[in-house]
Structure 1
Amino acid sequence: MPLNAVRMAALSIAVAMTTMPSAGLPASAAAPRDASKICSRPAVSGDTTIDVDFEGTTYPVLVYVPASAGRTGRVPLVLNLHGSSGNGPGQMDYSGLRAVADDEGFIVAAPNGAITLPQDPMPPNGSWAWNVPGVPTTAGQMPPPDARNDIQFLSRVIDVVSGKLCTDLRRTYATGHSGGGRMTSALGCYLSDRIAAIAAGAGLRAGRPDPDDVSVPEVEDCRPGRPVPVVTWHGQKDTTNPYPGSNDLRWGYAVPVAVQTWARLNGCQYGPEATTVTEHVTRLSYTGCSRGADVVLYRVSNGGHVWPGANEPGSEIDASRILWDFFERFRLPAR
């Protein structure tokens, strides 16, 4: 089936495979380290906290280490990013990724954003937002000029967790819900040399909305240096990040436009191929992509703004199982 070209001509993605600017990343973070070196993990399992020093501030990061990871050998790392007004511990609970990590032997890191979003009462672990480049927060305001650069921060999280817990820098992945999905999308755009694949839940973007026409992405804001495999899920009854899009610069263009843009960026030749998964869930797949970097959308006709799975009664799919089945197919090329 030919690639759906709806709105693609307007997007002008001819520069898709141009190397993305480094967003200020240090040279040491630009390429994966040698993932083949044998290393040993400390005798920790379950939830632990790792302190990440970044630009003079120390940030505690919740990390889950399954017993199945063992004590030697490098294992995959999944960044698990919370939604706006959420926090790392809440996302770890909500996503149910601990159970999948137990079964599959990967480590999960769930850091916090650094932009405070007021709540009353304030949750025990805070109410945070990510600094998605060039995008307002859900409060409707642009991040302050001194907001932490979360592209650089999350790259630092990868290095620190890998150094302390022996993760494989060729098998580092990112996922997130809502605002965390938008941040995950930005990592795909800006850190394609560090992130092997992404899974954006209820928040996939392919660059920020064009300020002059929010119904399309701003081409210059997403130029990954390599094809990035993408899986996403989105409810058609989502009123927070509406499936058909909105006029909000924070969200903007429709979910199908985001998916089609990633398919174009990845050079996919076929799709979308529709497969019925359950009564309300259809999988739309783009295949024949450069370096096998498929793009897959799980469209949930009766779904709202949720992470489908054990913590959402009535879910017909388990997003955390889906994302790992997708992730484990991919790793960064050796250097």
Structure 2
Amino acid sequence: MSRRTPLALAAAAVGLVAVSTVSSAGAAPADPAARTVGCTSTVPPGTHSVPIRFAGGTTEVQVFVPSHRPARVPLVLDLHGSGSNGPAQSGISDLASVAEREGFLVANPTAAVELPPSDPPLPGGGWAWNVPGVPTTAGQLPPPDARDDVAFLAAVVDQLGAAACVDTRRTYATGYSGGGRMASALACELSDRIAAIAPVAGLRAGRPAPDEPSVPEVQSCTPREPVAVLTFHGDADGVNPYGGSDDLRWGYSAPVAVQTWARLNDCRTGPVRTALTEHVSLTTYARCAGGADVEFQRITGGGHTWPGADEPEGPLGPITQEVDASETMWQFFEAHPKHV
């Protein structure tokens, strides 16, 4: 799948959002019973800026709707990394190309904790997610009045569910870096809504224990229902190191995060390791509660990058083309609806 560079696509996406707004997405949160009755989507095909009501205000969220879709459409939340924004993330993942072919919705919301501007400045600014109990890349916890992003993203899911006729059994989340940490937090906190997650360079299973960052704080991730997990991580990642760090923003290693989700999902077989390509290996845990399998693609020599992204190698390290994260995660999502 061909991908445009993030800055070029972000600029194009920002222009699209500015001219196409759907006001009806501020409808009441979705009634879980609505999955069994008729629904008419009020969000037409294309890329739109959809207003989401939250905490007494309205926040615009970029949403892509495919031209052909089922009556009840799957939803993928695609969360940007720290210092980025929703339209820029849509350029990195290019999930809209997969969504157009496969018939699912992609939402690219933007975080609300503002970070210092990059050089050159990114169109739309740079923002960080308020991951519960975790510092931002600025090294500090978000301010006490920062938006509750777990609650905000729950509102995105509910209001898009009502406006776009989302299949409540097939709501998923991915994210890059800080967005991967946020997607992980959604699996911990919104396990009744999220069927599966697929973080890239950012899987967590709760925050690092403050007194021992090499392990997760158990009480910070207690999902009520199993959530399937797929993750991708380069072992040469210099931002979120594969082997972990002492930074409370990151902490324990990528393998520990995977192993913790296998425990949370009560997986009964695994780990089973296989070679996918010369530089990509797959670790799987199966026979998990609720069919919530756990899979881990380790990229040997991979950087802090999105596998398959079509952009020149930069300071974040090599980008493997041996696997395509966007294509692979959709295959995983499609195979892992929520069991009810």
Total equivalences in the alignment: 305
Contact kept? 2:29, 2:161, Cα under 8 Å = no
What is the TM-score normalised by the length of structure 1? 0.88
Q: What is the match of residue 84 of structure 1? A: 82
Q: What is the match of residue 242 of structure 1? A: 241
- How far does the alpha carbon of each residue in 1:89-111 deviate from its partner, in whole angstroms, 9 at most, with x for none? 01111101011101110000000
Q: What is the match of residue 204 of structure 2? A: 205
Q: What is the match of residue 167 of structure 1? A: 166
Q: What is the match of residue 3 of structure 1? A: none
Q: What is the match of residue 135 of structure 1? A: 134
Aligned partners of 1:302, 1:230: CA distance in 2, in Å?
22
Q: CA RMSD in A?
A: 1.6
- Alpha carbons of 1:122 and 1:240: their partners in 2 closer, same or farther (altered >3 Å)? same
- Alpha carbons of 1:32 and 1:43: their partners in 2 closer, same or farther (altered >3 Å)? closer
Q: What is the match of residue 3 of structure 2? A: none
Q: What is the match of residue 68 of structure 2? A: 68
Shift of 1:44: 1.9
Q: What is the match of residue 95 of structure 1? A: 93
Shift of 1:31: 8.1
For residue 56 of structure 2, what is the amino acid of its counterpart?
Answer: G
State the secondary structure of the residue aligned to 1:100.
helix
Q: What is the match of residue 334 of structure 2? A: 328
For residue 101 of structure 2, what is the amino acid of its counterpart?
Answer: D
- How far does the alpha carbon of each residue in 1:43-89 deviate from its partner, in whole angstroms, 9 at most, with x for none? 7222111001110121100000010226xx11100000000001000
Contact kept? 1:30, 1:193, Cα under 8 Å = no
- How far does the alpha carbon of each residue in 1:28-53 deviate from its partner, in whole angstroms, 9 at most, with x for none? 97984431322222472221110011
Q: What is the match of residue 224 of structure 1? A: 223
Q: What is the match of residue 55 of structure 2? A: 55
Aligned partners of 1:198, 1:314: CA distance in 2, in Å?
21
Pairing 1:1-335 to 2, within 5 Å after superposition:
32-42=32-42, 44-69=44-69, 73-120=71-118, 121-312=120-311, 314-334=320-340
Q: Compare 314-323 and 107-116 and name the one that shifted more.
A: 314-323
Contact kept? 1:208, 1:217, Cα under 8 Å = yes
State the secondary structure of the residue aligned to 1:119.
coil
Shift of 1:160: 1.3
Shift of 1:314: 4.6
Shift of 1:331: 2.2
Aligned partners of 1:292, 1:31: CA distance in 2, in Å?
25
Aligned partners of 2:33, 2:56: CA distance in 1, in Å?
24
Contact kept? 1:50, 1:62, Cα under 8 Å = yes
Shift of 1:222: 0.4
Aligned partners of 2:107, 2:76: CA distance in 1, in Å?
6
- Alpha carbons of 1:67 and 1:238: their partners in 2 closer, same or farther (altered >3 Å)? same
Shift of 1:210: 0.1
Aligned partners of 2:309, 2:129: CA distance in 1, in Å?
25
Q: What is the match of residue 12 of structure 2? A: none
Structure 1, unaligned runs of 5 or more: 1-27
Contact kept? 2:62, 2:87, Cα under 8 Å = yes
Shift of 1:223: 0.4
Structure 2, unaligned runs of 5 or more: 1-27, 312-318
Shift of 1:272: 1.3
Contact kept? 1:95, 1:311, Cα under 8 Å = no
Q: Compare 276-285 and 302-311 and name the one that shifted more.
A: 302-311
Contact kept? 2:299, 2:320, Cα under 8 Å = no
Shift of 1:115: 0.2
What is the TM-score normalised by the length of structure 2? 0.87
Aligned partners of 2:43, 2:284: CA distance in 1, in Å?
41
Aligned partners of 1:41, 1:156: CA distance in 2, in Å?
17
Contact kept? 1:38, 1:74, Cα under 8 Å = no
Contact kept? 2:174, 2:200, Cα under 8 Å = yes
State the secondary structure of the residue aligned to 1:163.
helix
Aligned partners of 2:34, 2:43: CA distance in 1, in Å?
23
Aligned partners of 2:201, 2:50: CA distance in 1, in Å?
28
Shift of 1:329: 1.6
State the secondary structure of the residue aligned to 2:60.
strand
Aligned partners of 2:102, 2:335: CA distance in 1, in Å?
13
Aligned partners of 2:31, 2:66: CA distance in 1, in Å?
27
> Which protein has greater RCO, CA pairs closer than 8 Å, 6+ apart?
1
State the secondary structure of the residue aligned to 1:157.
helix
For residue 151 of structure 1, what is the amino acid of its counterpart?
Answer: V
State the secondary structure of the residue aligned to 1:35.
helix
- How far does the alpha carbon of each residue in 1:126-146 deviate from its partner, in whole angstroms, 9 at most, with x for none? 211000000000000000000
Q: What is the match of residue 25 of structure 1? A: none
Contact kept? 1:45, 1:64, Cα under 8 Å = yes
Contact kept? 1:119, 1:127, Cα under 8 Å = yes
